Amino acid sequence: MTVVVKLGGSVITEKDQPETVADDRLAGLAGALADGDIDDLVVVHGAGSFGHPRAAAHDVSATDGVQDAAAIRDIAGTMEALNTAVVGALADAGVAAVPVHPASVAHRTADGALEFPTGAIETLLDDGFVPVLHGDIISHAGAGATILSGDEIVTHLARAVDADRVGLCSTVPGVLDDDGTVIPSITAFSDAAGALGGSDATDVTGGMAGKVRALLALGSPAYVFGPAGIEAFVAGDDVGTRING
C-alpha cells in the first residue's frame, strides 16, 4: 500500500502567530502516522504561518516570480525550518522520516509546467524511508522563482509513485456543503459545485474547488479530512470526503 498524505499548513502551525509550530497537533498527527501500518508513506506539508506571510511580503505566488536571491533564501529558509520541525516530530514518534526539499530538485519551465524528478523519493521509499516534502519556492524559467504548493506536490507525487490512497489533512473535517455538513463522496465536480462556488471555472484562489478538481483527475481515491480523522485514514477506512473521479 502506497500512501501520500499532506498535513495542511494551517493544521501544523498556529496561523495567527508568525512561524509558530502547533506542537501538540503535529505530535498527534505524527503519532498516528507512526502507529499506522503503511508500507510506503510519503508526507507532504504546507506552509502555514511560515511560508505564506513571507511569500506575501515578497509578492511571489505560483505565477508571479521573484528575482531577488535574498527573497528566495528567506522563503526557502523558513520552509526548511518548518520541515525540520515536522521531520523531528515524525522521528520522535518513531517514523523513519527524511527531509526532501523540492527547491533542490524541481523547477518550472517558461510555460509554467512543473518538472519534478522523483527518483530520489522512489529510492527512499524502496529502502523503507518516509520522505517528507513541503510547499516551497522553486526556480522558474524566465521568472526567477515561484511558489510550489504542497497540493501540487501531492498530485504530482501520487501519480509518480502510483499511490493507492491520497489524504489531505485540513482544518475542516471534509468538503462541506452549504449547510456545513461533510459531503461523504464526490465522483464529479457537479457533486459539490453548489458548495464550491457553482461553476467549474478555473480556480484562481487555490481553494477547495481547485483541490477537488485536481484530486478528481487522479486515478487513486483521495480523502479530505480534519485532524480527528487521521487514525481512520491511516487504517484505510473511508473518512471525511472521498474524492474519486
Q: Which residues pair with 40 in a beta bridge?
A: 2
Secondary structure (3-state) at 47: coil
Establish if 55 lies at the interface with ligand IP8 (CB under 6 A). Answer: yes
Establish if 149 lies at the interface with ligand IP8 (CB under 6 A). Answer: yes
**Does 6 count as an annotated binding residue?**
yes
Of 135 and 227, nearer to ligand IP8 (C-beta) is: 135
Establish if 222 lies at the interface with ligand IP8 (CB under 6 A). Answer: no
Q: Which residues pair with 226 in a beta bridge?
A: none
Angle 48-57/69-93 helices, nearest 10 degrees?
180
Instruction: Give the CA-trace dihedral at 29, 159, 209, 149, to 10 degrees.
Output: 60
**Contact residue for ligand IP8 among 28, 31, 36, 46 (CB under 6 A):** 46
**Contact residue for ligand IP8 among 137, 145, 166, 209 (CB under 6 A):** 137
Instruction: Kindly state the number of chain residues that form the binding site for ligand IP8, as judged by CB under 6 A.
Output: 15
DSSP-assigned letters across all residues of 125-176: HHTT-EEEEE-EEEEETTTEEEEE-HHHHHHHHHHHTT-SEEEEE-SSSS-B
**Contact residue for ligand IP8 among 25, 52, 165, 211 (CB under 6 A):** 52
Stretch that binds ligand IP8, among 14-22, 26-34, 47-55, 231-239 (CB under 6 A): 47-55
CA distances for 65 relative to 113, 137, 144, 146, 223, angstroms: 14, 9, 6, 5, 31
Residues that bind ligand IP8 (CB under 6 A): 9, 46-47, 51-52, 55, 75, 79, 135-137, 147, 149-151
Binding-site residues for substrate sit at 47, 52, 150
List binding-site positions.
6-10, 47-48, 52, 150, 207, 211
Q: Annotated binding site for ATP, which residues? A: 6-10, 48, 207, 211
